[in-house]
């Protein structure tokens, strides 16, 4: 077990130093070991985070590691990271699913998850859906983002209109 602990420590040290290739390699080695589920989830998550800094790693491979970590241990932190990644790659429905599940798992911080979704969607959707926005305008994206933000603030639409007048 000391071998596993030192491998995990090394992997996380490399990740914290932004040494992505080294941390990816160490997390991969860790996943080849006989480890418990919690550690396996942590290793998949760490490998996904490491892969973000390596251009050669395929998007689907990164997403798969996030999903495996979540499948093993449904943690709001894992969900939030996966959701942010989904926003970055234009998988907005998956991002919403992850943010909403994170909010369900961690209701005290629901507003954080939903505001992340609102802001991420507002600024990334127009870039990812440029052709769509050119055809219909960005009001649809703004409306959806605003609805997420109202939900994050726990304000009804009519109350928001009243407050803004």
Give the whole-angstrom CA distance, residue 110 versus residue 124. Answer: 21
- With contact defined as beta carbons under 8 Å apart, do 96 and 104 qualify? no
CATH of the domain spanning 1-73: 1.25.40
User: What is the torsional sign of CA 113, 116, 118, 121?
Assistant: negative
Looking at residue 2, what is its pLDDT? 57
Q: How far apart are CA 23 and CA 2, in angstroms?
A: 18
For residue 19, give the H/E element and its range. Answer: none
Start-end of H helices in the chain: 2-16, 20-31, 37-51, 59-72, 76-88, 92-105, 110-128, 130-136, 139-153, 157-164
Contact yes or no for 142/122 (Cβ under 8 A): yes
Check residue 134 and give its pLDDT.
Answer: 67
Angle at alpha carbon of residue 101, lines to 99 and 104, rounded to 5°? 115
Domains of the chain, by residue range, sit at 1-73, 79-165
| CA gap 47, 83 in Å, rounded | 16
Q: What is the pLDDT of residue 132?
A: 64
Question: How large is the C-alpha radius of gyration of the chain?
Answer: 19
CA pair distance 57, 98, nearest whole angstrom: 22
Would residue 106 be called left, alpha or beta, if left means φ above 0 and alpha means ψ between -120 and 50 degrees?
A: beta
Could you give the CA distance from residue 133 to residue 120 in angstroms, rounded to a whole number?
A: 16
Q: What are the pLDDT tens digits along the chain (165 aa)?
A: 558 989 999 999 999 999 999 999 999 999 999 999 999 999 999 999 999 999 999 999 999 999 999 999 999 999 999 999 999 999 999 999 999 999 999 999 999 999 999 999 999 988 877 776 666 667 888 889 999 999 999 999 999 999 999
Q: Which residues contact 64 (CB under 8 A, 6 or more apart)?
A: none
Task: Output the pLDDT for position 106.
Answer: 98
- Output the pTM of the full model: 0.90
């Amino acid at each position: 077990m000391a071998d596993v602990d030192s491998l995990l420590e090394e992997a996380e040290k490399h990740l914290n130093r932004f040494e992505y290739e080294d941390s990816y390699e160490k997390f991969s080695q860790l996943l080849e070991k006989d480890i418990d589920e919690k550690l396996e989830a942590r290793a998949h998550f760490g490998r996904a985070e490491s892969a973000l800094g390596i251009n050669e790693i395929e998007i689907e491979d990164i997403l798969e590691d996030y999903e495996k970590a979540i499948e093993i241990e449904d943690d709001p932190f894992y969900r939030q990271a996966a959701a942010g990644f989904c926003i970055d790659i234009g998988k907005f429905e998956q991002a919403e699913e992850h943010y909403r599940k994170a909010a369900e798992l961690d209701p005290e911080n629901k507003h954080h998850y939903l505001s992340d979704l609102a802001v991420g969607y507002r600024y990334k959707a127009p870039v990812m859906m440029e052709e769509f926005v050119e055809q219909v305008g960005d009001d649809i994206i703004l409306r959806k983002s605003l609805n997420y933000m109202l939900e994050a603030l726990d304000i009804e639409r009519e109350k928001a209109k009243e407050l803004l007048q």
